[in-house]
Amino acid sequence: MRSPLKTVMSAVVFATVALSASPAAAAPATGCGLTFLPLPDGATRGFVREGEVTGRYAVGHAFIDGRQESVIWKDGVPFVPSLPFGEGGLTDVNSTGVAVGYGLNMDGTSSPVAWSQDGGVSALPVPDDGWSVQAVATNERGDIVGTATDPDDVDGKYTLVWRAGADEPQILPYGDVTNAVDIDEDGTVLAQAGTMTSAGPALVWDPETGTVTSLGEGSVGTAIRGGYVTGWENRTDRSVTMRWDLDGTDVEIAELGYALTVTSDGHVAGLGSVIVRGDGTLIQAEEPAFAMGIEYLADNGTAYGYADYAPAMWTGCR
């Protein structure tokens, strides 16, 4: 699922090909085969942002007639949903085909939305009129997490969760700036304290109990699933790719430059062609000619990302 920091790291690899090189220690390919995803009619280029746990759906964008349009791939086939806003877009999708995102208003604020093929676009409630809010991620039961900005406090960003069936969102009880990152299947929220240029610790929030846990100084989280968080830790002399197991175990992952996605089994992937299983063994994904990165790894071994700067899918990555 998608965070601003994850978006930045995906952009970095487009400018720095070296980050996507495969480590020499990678195991032989194990059927993790590459397929380029088709683009919608008229599209010149596109990219995948996220997927969902079964591997059937992915969401991203394509450039059509000079405009950036949201795209949903179902079983590898692209579909351009009809959205009533010119700017903004869809950021995540679950296995029922429900997607979430935001639209930009004329006054520059954002409005959070959910979308389905049967119901179209529906607006999500916001804490107060005038707040600028973006929905970031969703899970299988329909919980949604997002980031809100108070118009009376331009530095005040807050993480929200819309629990499935609830009338109003909850606000993460933390006394500093936070940005929503992701949401686990049980409703546990991953957020990032601080700003894009000065990231504070990654935070894990249980909305049912109200408990907020820091993953430690310098921690940056990119995804949560199955009680695992992945990302990296900024230390005095270097950054270290990490997987934090919420049972209290921290695992350093030397085989990846940056981790962007984790499965419920603890498998981690990101920039580059190596997938690190939960037990530490490696999977070598099929590489394109130039560069690649995996944005989302589903529990069934289907991965979505980019290959040679085009949207791509890998299957059999188990």
Q: What is the structure's pLDDT at 147?
A: 96
Asked if the model's pLDDT at residue 15 lies above 60, the reply is no
Mean pLDDT of the chain: 89
Asked if the model's pLDDT at residue 68 lies above 50, the reply is yes
Q: What is the 3-state secondary structure (H, E, C) of the chain?
A: CCCHHHHHHHHHHHHCHHHHCCCCCCCCECCCEEEECCCCCCEEEEEEEEECCCCCEEEEEEEECCEEEEEEEECCEEECCCCCCCCEEEEEECCCCCEEEEEECCCCCEEEEEEECCCEEEECCCCCCCCEEEEEEECCCCCEEEEEECCCCCCCEEEEEECCCCCCCEECCCCCCEEEEEECCCCCEEEEEECCCCEEEEEEEECCCCEEEECCCCEEEEEEECCEEEEEEECCCCEEEEEEECCCEEEECCCCCCEEEECCCCCEEEECCEEECCCCCEEECCCCCCCEEEEEECCCCCEEEEECCEEEEEECCC
Do residues 118 and 162 make contact, with C-beta atoms less than 8 angstroms apart?
Answer: no
Q: What is the structure's pLDDT at 130?
A: 87
Q: What is the structure's pLDDT at 3?
A: 54
- Mean pLDDT computed over 172-184: 91
Phi, psi of 276 (to 5 degrees): -100, 115
Asked if the model's pLDDT at residue 194 lies above 90, the reply is no
CATH code at 133?
2.130.10.150
Domain total of the chain: 1
Which tens digits make up the pLDDT trace of 119-165? 999 999 999 888 999 999 999 999 999 999 988 876 788 999 999 98
Q: What is the structure's pLDDT at 162?
A: 97
Q: What is the structure's pLDDT at 200?
A: 79
Q: Which domain holds residue 35?
A: 4-315
Asked if the model's pLDDT at residue 12 lies above 90, the reply is no
Q: What is the structure's pLDDT at 4?
A: 52
- Mean pLDDT computed over 53-65: 96
Confidence band (pLDDT; 50, 70, 90) for 106?
confident
Q: What is the structure's pLDDT at 175?
A: 76
